[in-house]
Copies of this chain bind each other. A is one copy, B any other.
């Protein structure tokens, strides 16, 4: 069972696979699991006058399309078809390294300034409290002058509320630039972190109850897996801190002064989610102590049982021994009630001892 478990829930320490090693940089090969049946391209063109949504089955289809509004949000679900990305790259003049990073879904979160656009890699998490597994998808965002491109490995539904807000007639978001759209995308990702961190916190509290109730080495392994997951999450969120900080300091021209106030808010949320996550991690660290202490306690209980048993039987056995001696003259031996008296003495001694243990609470396991 252990092996199969390891099999289904492998630790996520694996780095870039060796298949990629040695290839020239910029080679467009999708590295990562294929998570959708086929890619899906959605284009939202909007400005203060309205919004127009289009969905393309293939990249060929989209070539003819001329948008009626001048702010574009192009979203791609599914990355297995490198051709689509190649075409988008050519049309938006993306650097080969950007395309490579989008396809290789094992990137660290980062924001890079390529002069005419900002490239941003994020990681979206999903926690399943049942199986206690943490899944993650890479979301790449390119923010240019009037366009936002987003690339996801599969539908996570994370940007759906933003699409709904765009669809609302006269929504304030329509009046603002694409930098504001990029901010709302970022905000949606961070909000998702709060949910996952809360779920991990709940799991940690369940594990605490289990550790007190039945401390098995298997439980310890589960604790370590969850600890590992929080670490994974932390490593994904931590770089955002610095990235947002650099955007706040105004190092990039892509965010307007007004939008930066909102970025400061996102930055606060990021710090907050990191602190909450750290509290969860502390909880998990303390769990180890609770676990080890519960194990020690069980040992104490078992030694105590042994002691109680020995204590209850040794005196009785001694008494049987005494009356089993072969002396010719022994008290009680010839007595009619001798046997009963002996049994009574044994029972009395055992009862007295049991009472003593009762008072010391030793009979409660």
Contacts and interface: CB of A to CB of B under 8 A. Distances in A.
Given A173-B24, A228-B282, A212 B201 contact: no
A149 interface: no
B13 A279 contact: yes
A268 B107 contact: yes
A87 interface: no
B338 A327 contact: yes
B333 A338 contact: no
A214 to B, nearest CB: 10
A88 interface: no
Given A325-B320, A326-B326, A336-B329, A13 B298 contact: no
Contacts of A318: 313, 316-317, 320
Contacts of A14: 198, 201, 276
A22 B300 contact: no
Interface in A302-335: 302-307, 309-311, 313-318, 320-335
A208 interface: yes
Contact of A172 (B24, B106, B204, B212): B24
A60 interface: no
A21 interface: yes
Contact of A13 (B231, B280, B306, B307): B280
Given A24-B173, A228-B279, A317-B321, 9 more contacts: A13-B280, A217-B290, A220-B289, A224-B289, A295-B296, A303-B306, A314-B317, A316-B321, A326-B330
Q: Kindly list the 7 A-B residue pairs having the minimum CB-CB distance in the complex, ordered from nearest.
A: A320-B321, A22-B161, A323-B325, A21-B191, A313-B314, A15-B194, A224-B286
Interface of A: 2-3, 6, 11-16, 18, 20-22, 24-25, 95, 97, 106-108, 110, 112, 161, 165, 172-173, 184, 187-188, 191-192, 194-195, 197-198, 201, 204-205, 208-209, 212, 215-218, 220-221, 224, 227-228, 231-232, 235, 261-262, 264-265, 268-269, 271-273, 275-276, 279-280, 282-283, 286, 288-300, 302-307, 309-311, 313-318, 320-336, 338-339, 342-343
